[in-house]
Chain A
Amino acid sequence: MSDTTTTPRTHPLVDGEVGPGCKKVDPIVVADGVVRQFGGLTAVDVAHVEIPRGHITALIGPNGAGKTTFFNLLTGFDRPNQGQWSFEGSSLARVPSHKVARKGMVRTFQLTKSLGRLTVLQNMLLGARDQRGEGLFAALLKPLWKAQEAANVERADQLLARFKLDAKREDYAASLSGGQRKLLEMARALMSEPTLVMLDEPMAGVNPALTQSLLDHVKGLKDDGMTVLFVEHDMHMVRHISDWVIVMAEGKVVAEGPPETIMQDQAVVDAYLGAHHDTDLGTLTNQQVAQIHEEADAERDAELEADGIEAGDEPAATPEPEAPAAEAAPEQRPEEEQR
């Protein structure tokens, strides 16, 4: 058990060796030294991270890890204390949020922001970019924007149908259920035809049957050439659609890897179980890592014995306790989250 991970050392997406902050072959976002402090609390402290272009990347981590704050920083909704990042090669640090969106980096919010007293269709139309009728003077002359509007309505209807919201087209967004609002927000973001779509817990509160079709839809985005970065606590979903997983804990990127193996990474286990949360995971020597692993194993064995087989939803009695314990932790979060 002293061999730390089963993560492969190389990966087609990665340029060099796999590890936290590793270089990607074709990155769309590159962030360096991004720090955000709230008073004494360092919410985000990302030394280096790259998001691979044209793939689906999951950003996971325990509650309060700084995922949402990192999203806010990247999209200009919050200002970092320091740091640089670029999107498609151009620097985006300190660029106002609406300009970030215009460059093709569009995000959704963890706490859904549907525009209550606009209809579902109007919500969607607001997402369309470069609308002529959004200028004060052009707005007065309908012939100038009528055709464009009609095309946007058509596209909005297609998306609404895909998200099973077509029946709600004329309803006020405020009358939608929580899950429907999540869907609307995602569909609205897609109206702007982004290059990179950043989804903060897109599936929280969406029913499993619809989740399945939406996952396929998200995969479809990739086929259309979009890059997707999403935050999610549901490991089934992460494993099902993501090509790459980045793990944050206490503001830092503690691990990266392909979804099949990331949960076996010891840093991830520690992040979720909270073991050695006082140790800086970025600067561990091999010896320390080995020691931590032994301790963690011992702790886990003890816990498993104590709780019987409650620790995981896979049989915990397997001789290899690593996987179930590692997966159990993150999978228990969504229930907590969704209340």
Chain B
Amino acid sequence: MDFLSILNTAAGEILSPTTAAFALATIGLNIHFGYSGLLNFGQAGFMAIGAYAFAIFTMMVDPTATLGWPSWLSFIAAILVAIVAAVIFALILGIPTLRLRGDYLAIVTIAAAEIIRFTVRTQDLTAVTGGSQGLRGQDYKGDIDAMNPLTGTTYGFGPWTATAYDTWVRIIAWSLVIVALILVWLLMRSPWGRVIKGIREDEDAVRSLGKNVYGYKMQALVLGGTMGALAGVMFILPRAVQPDNFATTMTFYIWTALLLGGAATVLGPLLGSILFWVLLSFTGGLINLLHGLGIFGAMTGSQAGQLRFVLVGLALMALVVFRPQGILGNKKELSFNV
């Protein structure tokens, strides 16, 4: 592996469907934390809910085969199932916690996300969820493949070359990201967004002005969670469903991307997600290269591979010290002791 191919791979991350999925999840978390001040430490749980609901519905119900639905209708139906599942999950999390102080939501979401992961991993559910093995991609990709209008073999150029299927997934995933960004932009310039931001600052003050704070927090939780679930669907379209992909690490990647780009900005989550994946890929490649040159001595390749997280950690520390508001964040907002 040479340096150029490292750059190439890193650049490829800019448009990868995984980056799109992360951007979507981060946009959702931005609605939670950035705008409403909700501490959701279980965004990976929402992704898992979306991914499993989509995949299981497609496999078990499979309306294309059983009901003769056109594949686009089956796909939309599966997406709707994922959304409904996320809404229910959000309600279950929100109803008991949103009346309490913010920390409770944090504890409950982090636990709930892990509960989801352990549940889908259990052996007893192997017939449905695939247990710890997860689900094979080919079992749920039929509809989306059938919908694909692209017929060629590869599309794009340079680092952004992809197969017809991958390109199709990219188009869907990035379209969703754009829709989500427009949605956030529209909402946050509206009186609804003003109430949400007010709640982030001081919910009692907003309550004293006659707004149903609980209802607004619930709406924000559901909305951001739904985006998380859609992110989960986009995340599994290019790969298989692996329960351990939805571990807490995922949640913290999403948080990192959010803080990197700048919370409470419309484009921050997008920029943060892209940068995060490009950096992760770049440092990974670099360390691999250096390891090949024998720089890390007796370390094995996978040990050295972990070093990139050290580098990411350092980069994060630097960010917190030099630009705590994130890349797009407003410095002025942070300079207050509120």
CB atoms of B204 and A113 under 8 A apart: yes
Partner of B201, one of A106, A118, A127, A133: A118
CB atoms of B338 and A118 under 8 A apart: no
Known: A75-B208, A107-B208. A172 touches B192 (CB 8 A): no
Q: Measured between alpha carbons, how far is A156 from B195 in the docked complex, in Å?
A: 16
Interface residues of B in 192-243 (CB under 8 A from A): 192-195, 197-198, 200-202, 204-213, 219, 223
CB atoms of A172 and B332 under 8 A apart: yes
Partner of B210, one of A98, A117, A118, A185: A98
Select the stretch in A6-14, A34-42, A139-147, A321-329 that faces chain B: A139-147
Q: How many residues of B contact A (CB 8 A)?
A: 33
Q: Measured between alpha carbons, how far is A149 from B71 in the docked complex, in Å?
A: 44
Q: Measured between alpha carbons, how far is A98 from B213 in the docked complex, in Å?
A: 8
Q: Is A77 an interface residue (CB 8 A)?
A: yes
Q: Is A319 an interface residue (CB 8 A)?
A: no
Known: A122-B194, A126-B198, A134-B192. A117 touches B333 (CB 8 A): yes
Q: Is A175 an interface residue (CB 8 A)?
A: yes
State the Cβ distance, B332 to closest chain A Cβ, in Å. Answer: 7
Q: Is A159 an interface residue (CB 8 A)?
A: no
CB atoms of B192 and A125 under 8 A apart: no
Q: In the complex, which residues of chain A have a beta carbon less than 8 angstroms from the beta carbon of B197?
A: 115, 117-118, 122
Q: Is A284 an interface residue (CB 8 A)?
A: no
Q: Is A237 an interface residue (CB 8 A)?
A: no
Q: In the complex, which residues of chain B have a beta carbon less than 8 angstroms from the beta carbon of A221?
A: none
Chain B proximity mask over A111-144: 1 for CB below 8 Å, otherwise 0: 0011111100011011101011111101110100
Q: In the complex, which residues of chain B have a beta carbon less than 8 angstroms from the beta carbon of A132?
A: 191
State the Cβ distance, B193 to closest chain A Cβ, in Å. Answer: 7
Q: Measured between alpha carbons, how far is A107 from B213 in the docked complex, in Å?
A: 16
Q: Measured between alpha carbons, how far is A185 from B201 in the docked complex, in Å?
A: 14
| B198, B204, B209 pick with most chain A CB within 10 angstroms | B209
Q: Measured between alpha carbons, how far is A272 from B195 in the docked complex, in Å?
A: 42
| B210, B213, B333 pick with most chain A CB within 10 angstroms | B210
Q: How many residues of A contact B (CB 8 A)?
A: 43
Q: In the complex, which residues of chain A have a beta carbon less than 8 angstroms from the beta carbon of B187?
A: 136, 139-140
CB atoms of B190 and A140 under 8 A apart: yes
Q: Measured between alpha carbons, how far is A106 from B205 in the docked complex, in Å?
A: 11
Q: In the complex, which residues of chain B have a beta carbon less than 8 angstroms from the beta carbon of A149?
A: 191
CB atoms of A139 and B205 under 8 A apart: no
CB atoms of B195 and A127 under 8 A apart: no
Interface residues of A in 176-230 (CB under 8 A from B): 185, 188-189, 191-192
State the Cβ distance, B212 to closest chain A Cβ, in Å. Answer: 5
State the Cβ distance, B30 to closest chain A Cβ, in Å. Answer: 15
Q: Measured between alpha carbons, how far is A138 from B219 in the docked complex, in Å?
A: 14
Q: Is A302 an interface residue (CB 8 A)?
A: no
State the Cβ distance, B189 to closest chain A Cβ, in Å. Answer: 8
CB atoms of B204 and A116 under 8 A apart: no
B195 closest partner in A (C-beta)? A134
Interface residues of A in 134-174 (CB under 8 A from B): 134-136, 138-140, 142, 145, 149, 172, 174
Q: In the complex, which residues of chain B have a beta carbon less than 8 angstroms from the beta carbon of A140?
A: 183, 186-187, 190
State the Cβ distance, A145 to closest chain B Cβ, in Å. Answer: 6
CB atoms of A133 and B209 under 8 A apart: no
Q: In the complex, which residues of chain A have a beta carbon less than 8 angstroms from the beta carbon of B332?
A: 172
State the Cβ distance, A316 to closest chain B Cβ, in Å. Answer: 42
Q: In the complex, which residues of chain B have a beta carbon less than 8 angstroms from the beta carbon of A116?
A: 201, 336, 338
Q: Measured between alpha carbons, how far is A126 from B195 in the docked complex, in Å?
A: 7
Q: Measured between alpha carbons, how far is A132 from B191 in the docked complex, in Å?
A: 8
CB atoms of B194 and A98 under 8 A apart: no
Q: Measured between alpha carbons, how far is A133 from B211 in the docked complex, in Å?
A: 13
Q: Measured between alpha carbons, how far is A144 from B210 in the docked complex, in Å?
A: 21
Q: Measured between alpha carbons, how far is A125 from B202 in the docked complex, in Å?
A: 15
B222 closest partner in A (C-beta)? A136
CB atoms of B209 and A188 under 8 A apart: yes
Partner of A101, one of B202, B207, B223: B207
Partner of A139, one of B190, B213, B338: B190
Q: Measured between alpha carbons, how far is A1 from B332 in the docked complex, in Å?
A: 63
Known: A98-B213, A125-B194, A172-B332. A139 touches B208 (CB 8 A): no
Known: A97-B208, A118-B194. A113 touches B202 (CB 8 A): yes
Known: A174-B336, A175-B336. A126 touches B194 (CB 8 A): yes
State the Cβ distance, B334 to closest chain A Cβ, in Å. Answer: 9
Q: Measured between alpha carbons, how far is A186 from B209 in the docked complex, in Å?
A: 11
Q: In the complex, which residues of chain B have a beta carbon less than 8 angstroms from the beta carbon of A113?
A: 202, 204-205, 208
Q: Measured between alpha carbons, how far is A175 from B69 in the docked complex, in Å?
A: 59
Interface residues of B in 313-338 (CB under 8 A from A): 332-333, 336-338
Q: In the complex, which residues of chain A have a beta carbon less than 8 angstroms from the beta carbon of B213?
A: 98
What residues of chain A have their CB less than 8 Å away from a CB belonging to chain B?
Answer: 75, 77, 97-99, 101-102, 106-109, 113-118, 122-123, 125-127, 129, 131-136, 138-140, 142, 145, 149, 172, 174-175, 185, 188-189, 191-192
Sampled A-B contacts (27; CB under 8 Å): A77-B204, A77-B207, A98-B211, A98-B213, A106-B209, A106-B210, A108-B208, A109-B204, A109-B208, A113-B205, A115-B205, A117-B200, A117-B336, A118-B201, A126-B206, A131-B191, A132-B191, A133-B190, A134-B191, A134-B211, A136-B187, A136-B192, A140-B183, A174-B336, A189-B208, A189-B209, A192-B210
What residues of chain B have their CB less than 8 Å away from a CB belonging to chain A?
Answer: 183, 186-187, 189-195, 197-198, 200-202, 204-213, 219, 223, 264, 332-333, 336-338
For the complex of A and B, 6 pairs with smallest distance between CB atoms: A133-B191, A116-B338, A139-B192, A101-B210, A174-B336, A139-B190
